[in-house]
């Protein structure tokens, strides 16, 4: 039997990278492997010095990303029993906005002896939220000037994104800023390592880099924001764009040695983990909301028309598939909230907590939580907000709190769904991908809370499959992403249906959630901001 062409998708998550070997003909996943990042998330102390980091910091070490290429890709090939010569393309996706300050040749500044002890020289992970003050100033000035790009981002620019983090480096580490030639999305940095060529992907440029209608924020805006910062775009950020699914370059000899893949095969333009998942779910038409649920959740949706949606992460023409407007929203904390509670406050495992919580009727625990333990990405776009739990008594048990946290994240997703709908973008189906799909209780809660049929992506490694789909397009195996998604994507439709009695009960609890949401999140009581400011002041006093 003749060999069939294969592609490799590599998904870079928050804690690990995973590779999957996929058959081009039908998307069959033949093998996979996962590599945990050796340094994980650097949010307590800098590895080079042991010096404590301030609150809201989250860094990573870029060599961990290369380790994934060295280990996970060869292991996935071995797991598949695949002949590397049959692989025709490779593609990667990344968390975003995750930023690498680099030299002209792509060397991360943290790898230079002069900057090894400076935390600003390291990768700023998506959940690095210490740039909230800079984001607040960007938003205030943009509103005052009536900047036309601001409504494309729901009226608020996030502290997670390129400009806020870049301004933070400019103001707090001018030596790092001066040495930095490229302020690079990790999605593009890893492709640079594979091809030897820096290509900026159109997805992150639009969603995270405030590139709208071919223009970034103006020099005048940046000068007014911070004198000296006006050349940020020209000197650090602007770079030729690569379109999604196109070929960024060819695999270099060095990268071929790392991965065991053939030199010269196609390497696709970089992309974001959430956005590549939509084709993996065959969600390439309007109305299909894809929620990629892991440590956080990213929601992506295609729309036929341009709408300005309050509190959204952005809307980009062709941001997911060509020909449609791609919308993005998200929740900064989901699975990591469940993990935090299970690790620090419960004796039971996740499985046991879920089993006990599943025995309860809706509302039996008498609790209501806000899912802001990592701030709020949508629709409030405020990372100084924090989690809350109302209704505790001396009878409250661990499984009660656990279920309330599961429900809180579902309420957060419903808030996003309603905001899209009210803006004129109807949602007819919720499609879930990611490791949390294994929790049947959580999936049923989401169906009940949103009152939507819930479909599940058929792959356990949906972003990696999505990257593999883009690799197939970049290699010329399919004419476009839609065609590749139809042949290679996978989803199980309407696996969970809303239970009418649960929908009614959750409607009542959601009304209470909305009251808390607006009370703490829309200015009625700024106690969360005051507490965050106090925490920063104490930490600064200790440094």
**How far apart (Å, rounded) are the C-alpha atoms in residues 471 and 267?**
7
Residue 1 confidence (pLDDT): 37
3-state SS string over 255-304?
Answer: HHHHHCCCCCCEEECCEEHHHHHHHHCCCCCCCEEEEEECCCEEEEEEEC
Angle between helix axes 335-345 and 350-358 (nearest 10 degrees) is: 100
8 A C-beta contact, residue 293 and residue 436: yes
Residue 542 confidence (pLDDT): 80
Contacts of 511 by beta carbon, 8 Å cutoff, 6+ apart:
none
Q: What DSSP state is assigned to residue 201?
A: E
Residue 539 confidence (pLDDT): 85
Q: Please report, for residues 112, 139, 205, 293, 299, the alpha-carbon distance to residue 378 in angstroms, rounded to integers and kept in the order given.
A: 37, 15, 19, 15, 10
8 A C-beta contact, residue 445 and residue 456: no
3-state secondary structure of 390: strand
For each of the chain's 543 residues, which pLDDT tens digit applies? 358 999 999 999 999 999 999 999 999 999 999 999 999 999 999 999 999 999 999 999 999 999 999 999 999 999 999 999 999 999 999 999 999 999 999 999 999 999 999 999 999 999 999 999 999 999 999 999 999 999 999 999 999 999 999 999 999 999 999 999 999 999 999 999 999 999 999 999 999 999 999 999 999 999 999 999 999 999 999 999 999 999 999 999 999 999 999 999 999 999 999 999 999 999 999 999 999 999 999 999 999 999 999 999 999 999 999 899 999 999 999 999 999 999 999 999 999 999 999 999 999 999 999 999 999 999 999 989 999 999 999 999 999 999 999 999 999 999 999 999 999 999 999 999 998 999 999 999 999 999 999 999 999 899 999 999 999 999 999 999 999 999 999 999 999 999 999 999 999 999 999 999 999 999 999 999 999 999 989 988 886
Strand partners, 123: 60
**How far apart (Å, rounded) are the C-alpha atoms in residues 350 and 181?**
45
8 A C-beta contact, residue 303 and residue 327: yes
Q: Which residue has the tokens 């294994």?
A: 438
């Amino acid at each position: 039997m003749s060999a069939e062409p294969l592609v490799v998708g590599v998904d870079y998550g928050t804690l690990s990278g995973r590779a999957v070997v996929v058959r081009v003909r039908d998307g069959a996943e033949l093998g996979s492997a996962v590599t945990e990042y050796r340094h994980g998330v650097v949010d307590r102390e800098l590895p080079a010095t042991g010096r404590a980091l301030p609150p809201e910091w989250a860094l990573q070490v870029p060599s961990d990303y290369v380790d994934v290429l060295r280990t996970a890709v060869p292991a996935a090939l071995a797991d598949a029993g695949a002949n590397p010569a049959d692989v025709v393309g490779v593609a990667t996706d990344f968390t975003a906005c995750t930023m690498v300050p680099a030299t002209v040749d792509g060397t991360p500044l943290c790898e230079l002896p002069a900057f090894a002890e400076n935390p600003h020289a390291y990768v700023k992970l998506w959940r690095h939220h210490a740039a909230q003050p800079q984001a607040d100033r960007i938003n205030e000035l943009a509103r005052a000037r009536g900047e036309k790009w601001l409504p494309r981002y729901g009226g608020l620019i996030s502290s997670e994104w390129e400009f806020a983090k870049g301004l933070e480096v400019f103001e707090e580490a001018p030596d790092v800023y001066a040495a930095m030639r490229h302020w690079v999305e990790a999605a593009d940095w890893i492709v640079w390592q594979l091809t030897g060529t820096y290509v900026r992907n159109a997805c992150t440029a639009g969603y995270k880099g405030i590139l709208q209608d071919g223009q970034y924020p103006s020099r005048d805006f940046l000068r007014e924001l911070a004198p000296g910062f006006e050349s940020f775009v020209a000197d650090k950020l602007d770079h030729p764009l690569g379109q999604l699914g196109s070929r960024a370059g060819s695999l270099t000899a060095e990268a071929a040695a790392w991965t065991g893949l053939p030199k010269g095969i196609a390497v696709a333009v970089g992309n974001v983990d959430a956005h590549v998942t939509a084709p993996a779910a065959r969600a390439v038409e309007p109305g299909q909301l894809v929620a990629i649920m892991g440590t956080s959740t990213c929601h992506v949706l295609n729309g036929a028309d341009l709408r300005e949606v309050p509190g959204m992460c952005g809307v980009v023409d062709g941001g997911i598939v060509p020909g449609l407007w791609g919308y993005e929203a998200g929740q900064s904390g989901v699975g990591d909230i469940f993990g935090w509670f299970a690790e620090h406050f419960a004796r039971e495992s996740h499985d046991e907590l879920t089993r006990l919580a599943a025995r309860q009727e809706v509302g039996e625990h008498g609790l209501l939580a806000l899912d802001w333990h990592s701030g709020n990405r949508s629709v409030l776009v405020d990372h100084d907000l924090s989690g809350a739990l109302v209704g505790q008594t001396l009878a409250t048990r661990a499984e009660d709190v656990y279920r309330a946290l599961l429900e809180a994240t579902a309420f957060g997703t419903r808030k996003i769904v309603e905001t899209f709908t009210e803006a004129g973008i109807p949602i007819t189906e919720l499609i879930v991908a990611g490791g949390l799909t294994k929790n049947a209780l959580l999936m049923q809660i989401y169906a009940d809370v949103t009152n939507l049929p819930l479909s599940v992506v058929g792959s356990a490694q949906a972003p990696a499959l999505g990257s593999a789909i883009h690799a197939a397009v970049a290699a010329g195996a399919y004419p476009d992403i839609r065609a590749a998604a139809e042949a290679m994507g996978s989803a199980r439709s309407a696996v969970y249906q809303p239970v009418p009695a649960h929908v009614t009960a959750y409607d009542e609890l959601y009304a209470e959630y909305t009251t808390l949401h607006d009370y703490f999140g829309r200015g009625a009581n700024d106690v969360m901001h005051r507490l965050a400011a106090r925490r920063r002041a104490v930490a600064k006093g200790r440094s």
